[in-house]
Amino acid sequence: MNGYEMTKREKISFVRAITKSIANELIEKIKSGKVPAEWNGHQLRFLLADKFEHERTSLMRRDRKARKSYWSDVYNNNL
């Protein structure tokens, strides 16, 4: 797709870094009281999904071929 393939180690490091970054951001918002007290797992799941959606690259948003290839890989590899 972009001419650069990540090694397994790079993929693992990337997943850990982006997940940790989002988790830390949301934990700070909870600690600071920005997240409403009445929220439960439903709203928190939605917020997490929104944060991960925001991290999706512009390539995946605008490139139909890239999205099609992605969904094919997800389906074919049972991801």
DSSP string, 21-53: HHHHHHHHHHHTT-S-TT--HHHHHHHHHHHHH
pTM above 0.85, yes or no: no
What is the per-residue pLDDT for 45? 97
- Residue whose pair of structure tokens reads 């995946």 in the numeric block: 60
pLDDT tens profile 32-58: 999 999 999 999 999 999 999 888 877
